[in-house]
Amino acid sequence: MLPAFIKPMLAKLSEPFDSPRFLYEIKWDGTRCLFFIENGKIRLQNRRLNDITYRYPEFWDLPQRLSRDGIVFDGEIVVLKEGKPVFRLLQEREHVKSPVKIKFLSERLPATYFIFDLLYLDGKPLLEKPLRERKKLLKETLPESPFVAESEYILEKGVAFFKQVIALGFEGVMAKDLESPYLPGKRVDFWLKFKPRRKRRCLIVGYLLRPDGTLKSLLVAEPTEKGLIFRGRVASGLTTHLADVLLSRLKKLETSGPPPELKGSGFPKGAIFVRPEIACEVSFQEITNHGQFRAPVLEKVYL
């Protein structure tokens, strides 16, 4: 018997790189889905371990398109428009429960399941086999369906592939170690994701000092429709000359506490707050669940 559920393996963020040990494939902007086929029936499980089989009738006949059973695929459900995933259209599918509307949307906005891994075959686990072998078995097992496709990949040339993928408007690239096992629920260095760095204009709301009194890092906040949102601290990109110039300006703007319009949490111990009058540009990989920039770099200060 197949397990009742499997936590999907997760990826860490990384800068793009080349390696003969890794394969590189498009990072699909959709819903992560583990696809169970057992005794001629299917079951779709999302990242939160919820059963979402009812949402996608276009996949219900897949057991009849396969000569094997006891299968678990890992992949991503997307809704394509002109060959590219559109998350907004997928959300229309995700929020519907009426069987009549589900059937209507499956015809108007058909989903595609991009399969990138094979975890069970004939009821036997493949989790400990290297990705290279799982990929080979996947290609041999893939069902013929207009709604299913293998997530194609290239070898070695991760940097060039990332540039091409981003230029075409996709979300990013996944890099996966060809010799790695599948580790349910784990976020390890075997799987890495490349995403383009984003930039935001922010305001400096405070700073931290080193023991010798020099400027260590800046506290930045982003002006939004909901107010001034704290985005964390940034030190990368802060040159010695810029730090000296900034510190003399910041000392003149010091306040007794955070600006009253500042929202958020996680202010570091020892922070010295200032009036938010100096703007800057910060690049980052993504915004964390706590609302702060991940791997921020100071790109420009408007003095």
User: pLDDT by residue (tens digit) across 31-53?
Assistant: 999 999 999 999 999 999 999 99
Q: List, in order of start, the domains of the chain with CATH numbers.
A: 10-194 (3.30.470.30), 198-302 (2.40.50.140)
* Residue 120 CA: distances (Å) to CA of 50, 104, 152, 174: 19, 32, 20, 22
pLDDT 10s digits, 138-172:
999 998 899 999 999 999 999 999 999 999 989 89
pLDDT 10s digits, 89-125:
999 999 899 999 999 999 999 999 999 999 999 999 9
Q: What is the pLDDT of residue 1?
A: 87
Percentage of residues in the chain having pLDDT higher than 90: 88
Q: What is the pLDDT of residue 29?
A: 87
Q: What is the pLDDT of residue 283?
A: 94
Which two three-digit tokens encode residue 197?
């760095």
User: Which among 125, 105, 262, 221 is positioned nearest to 181, based on CA atoms?
Assistant: 125
195 given a catalytic annotation: no
By the 8 A CB rule, do 118 and 134 touch?
yes
Spot the catalytic one: 12, 27, 195, 263.
27
Of the pLDDT bands very low, low, confident and very high (cuts 50, 70, 90), residue 264 is confident
> What's the rounded mean pLDDT across residues 242-265?
93
pLDDT 10s digits, 208-228:
999 999 999 999 999 998 889
Three-class DSSP category at 283: strand
Question: Which secondary structure element, helix H or strand E, spans residue 224, and what is its range?
Answer: strand 215-224
Of the pLDDT bands very low, low, confident and very high (cuts 50, 70, 90), residue 286 is confident
- Partner residues linked to 44 by β-bridges: 35
Position of tokens 């910041």?
Answer: 250
Which two three-digit tokens encode residue 291?
């609302």
Q: What is the pLDDT of residue 197?
A: 86
